[in-house]
Structure 1
Amino acid sequence: MAVAGAVVLGVAAGGWVYWKLNDNITGVDINSALGDNRPAKPAITPSPGAEAASAPLPSQAMNILVLGSDSRSGAENQRLGGGDTSGARSDTAMVFHLDAGGESGTVVSIPRDTLVTRPSCPLPDGGETEERHGVMFNTAYSVGGPVCAVKTVESFTGVRMDHYLEIDFAGFAALIDAVGGVTVTVDQDIEDEQSHLSLEAGTHLLDGEQALGLARTRYSLPGGSDLARIELQQRLVKALLTQIADTSLLTDPAKLYDVATTVTGSLTTDTGLDSLGELVGLGESLRALSPDAVETLTLPVVRAPSDPNRVVADEPEAGELWESLR
């Protein structure tokens, strides 16, 4: 919605706003970097009502790898992240699967502590990373950025990622503030110095900074489990989808411009989504999707035999889940 409004503002301002926001988005050519040695794309099938719709509904299923980066680049990310550590990791990873027709979807969270085989990944300088076995999933982003994150996901899931979206701390907080906050219920008191969050058990309307804190909360949860944190993140996803469906930014152009500037400046995408027009096209694909039609799941995992603080995919359940998304 924010991006669509930005397009309207861009036209009204003679194209300058459109150009500025368009230039904010960082694009990575993942398709060229990975080549043809990837899982196959799903077959295209006609979608019901596509001919009658003002914009065609997606005729095939789509999978998008969505990463939340803990980059500390920039003053606002440093403030929200609580430090000035260099580099970045994939703090949150979700595969968003949109069914053909665009009326239902599935979000699968991948625990960052999952041990996987990280394949050899191409680097921008022409070199390659080494293949490594039994390493944490989130190391893929650390050593090879978006390209390696996508290749690693495709390698252990067998599912092709059609697109890639990454947002940092500042962008996530701005998005939450843009829609007026999100309403989330927590089952226990949260006092987490690491995520700078203090909440009593109950239902709360969270602003952007509080929502980011909730998404990062871990150590105040039972056992400090990443799985418990993922449950909170999935509640946030549902709450955000619900709030977006009930909110219109188009009535406040000044606010819309401020939000669009922040959010687009915090986005990294594949080159299939690195323009406002392409992002608006993605938004059109989601127009028929209601929050109640989105199922949130976590990759089935068990404790890793080699390390009690890590997990591995629980087979055959994990394989069956990925098969359902192909």
Structure 2
Amino acid sequence: MTADLTNGDEGRRAGRRSRALRIAGLTLAGALVLAVGAAGWAYWQLNDNIKSVDINSALGDDRPLKATPTPTASAEELPTEALNILVLGSDTRSGAENRALGGGDSEGGRSDTAMVVHLDPGRSTATVVSIPRDTLVTRPSCPLEDGGSTAIAYNSMFNSAYSVGGPVCAVKTVESVTGVRMDHYIEIDFAGFAKLVDALGGVTVTTEEDIDDEDSHLTLEAGTHHLDGKQALALARTRHGIGDGSDLGRIELQQQLVKALLEQVSATDLLTDPAKLYRVADAVTGSLTTDTGLDSLTELTRLGRSLGGLSADAVTTVTMPVVPAPSDPNRVVADEPEAGELWESLR
């Protein structure tokens, strides 16, 4: 009789363990389904954030040749060939956030910041060349979405290309000025830059002189500062509160910010913090416009992974050599032959 009771108790305990294991298994399976669903939703959301422009189709074959042919690579292999990317910071006021950060309600937008990013073969070193927006150039005729085209403009400010013809005209003007083929195009607006800095936890910069700029609303004493997104954007836009008040002083601050961002990304282990990784990805993709070659999360991730060995110390920042324009002391023109030699070195 005792043996029968013992066997009954063990049977009931075994049954309870079996049910508990089944419940645990179902819970784990449910969690996995939810995780996969959440990951799928996140991927769709981030992918859907990205806006793109088909620059290759718009410009056709009337462009500089690629510096090197793109080698055939499998999906698992990361690209390592040289690459030139035009990166624009747009001062568009579209949307409430951009209007608030831009300090105005003006329509349209301009290329507030223009950088040609040249990635050397192997992707372990890079050169970032800033083009002053006040540079007078010959703006080529650019195709428009309605099938028409803009007229050639002489002694036109560089940043007017974006205003009259958007990303397509910005790329064509850069290629006309430099003779360098832009393999890709990336544009980020005010709100996107500020959100990116905040998502990374801010950036640390050191200013060599006091800054007090009424236009960018930034006041900083000389020294080291940890800036949030709004402050970093104000620093990138500071012009009249530093140096001689020209665009060249602002470019130096922007180049400093580029290196600070690279250092912050390197110091932040995003792979161990999925929540922060999502915030960074959402900040980047939510305010991003690219060419169609980079308009998916897959392609952007592949580009990012190929830059895994690129440190801030391996990035050289320079400004296109310029001199005051003979026609207008408030404008500049390319200083030749130095400017041409710089572009030749990238080609």
Common fold, TM-score beyond 0.5?
yes
Q: Deviations over 1:185-207 (max 9, x none)?
A: 11111111211111111110111
Q: Deviations over 1:13-49 (max 9, x none)?
A: 2522211111110010000000001000122488xxx
Q: Among 131, 139, 142, which residue is 1:121 paired with?
A: 142
Structure 1 partner of 2:59: 34
1:281-320, aligned counterparts within 5 Å? Answer: 281-320=302-341
Q: Among 55, 59, 66, which residue is 2:77 paired with?
A: 55
The one-letter amino acid of 1:281's match is: R
- Matched residues in 2 for 1:90 and 1:143: separation? 11
Structure 2 partner of 1:81: 102
Q: Among 87, 100, 104, which residue is 1:66 paired with?
A: 87
State the number of aligned residues.
Answer: 314
Q: Deviations over 1:191-249 (max 9, x none)?
A: 11211111111110111111000000001123211001101111111111111111023
- Matched residues in 1 for 2:279 and 2:343: separation? 38
The answer on 1:148 being equivalent to 2:169 is yes
| SS, match of residue 324 in structure 2 | strand
The answer on 1:179 being equivalent to 2:204 is no
Structure 1 residues 263 and 164: alpha-carbon distance in aligned structure 2, compared to 1, 3 A threshold: same
| SS, match of residue 310 in structure 1 | strand
1:190-205, aligned counterparts within 5 Å? Answer: 190-205=211-226
The one-letter amino acid of 2:60's match is: G
Structure 1 partner of 2:254: 233
Structure 1 unmatched ranges of 5 or more: 1-8
Q: Which moved more, 1:9-18 or 1:141-150?
A: 9-18
The one-letter amino acid of 2:251's match is: I
Structure 2 partner of 1:25: 50
Structure 2 partner of 1:13: 38
Deviation of 1:290 after TM superposition, in Å, equals 1.1
| SS, match of residue 250 in structure 1 | helix
Structure 1 residues 20 and 45: alpha-carbon distance in aligned structure 2, compared to 1, 3 A threshold: closer
Give the structure with the higher percent helix: 2
* Structure number with larger C-alpha Rg: 2
Q: Deviations over 1:130-181 (max 9, x none)?
A: 0001110000000000000000000010000000000001110111111111
The one-letter amino acid of 2:53's match is: V
- Matched residues in 2 for 1:192 and 1:142: separation? 25
Q: Which moved more, 1:177-186 or 1:24-33?
A: 177-186
Structure 1 residues 271 and 165: alpha-carbon distance in aligned structure 2, compared to 1, 3 A threshold: same
Runs of 4+ in 1 over 4 A off after TM superposition: 9-12
Q: Among 248, 251, 259, which residue is 2:269 paired with?
A: 248
Structure 2 unmatched ranges of 5 or more: 1-33
TM-score by length of 2: 0.86
Question: Is the 1:119–1:130 contact (alpha carbons within 8 Å) kept by the matching residues of 2?
Answer: yes
Q: Deviations over 1:86-135 (max 9, x none)?
A: 11000000000000111101000000000000000000111100000111
Question: Is the 1:10–1:16 contact (alpha carbons within 8 Å) kept by the matching residues of 2?
Answer: no
Structure 1 partner of 2:133: 112
What's the C-alpha RMSD, in Å, of the aligned pairs? Answer: 2.0
Deviation of 1:251 after TM superposition, in Å, equals 3.5
The one-letter amino acid of 1:56's match is: L
Q: Which moved more, 1:26-35 or 1:36-45?
A: 36-45
Question: Is the 2:124–2:314 contact (alpha carbons within 8 Å) kept by the matching residues of 1?
Answer: yes
Structure 1 residues 145 and 10: alpha-carbon distance in aligned structure 2, compared to 1, 3 A threshold: farther
The one-letter amino acid of 1:99's match is: D
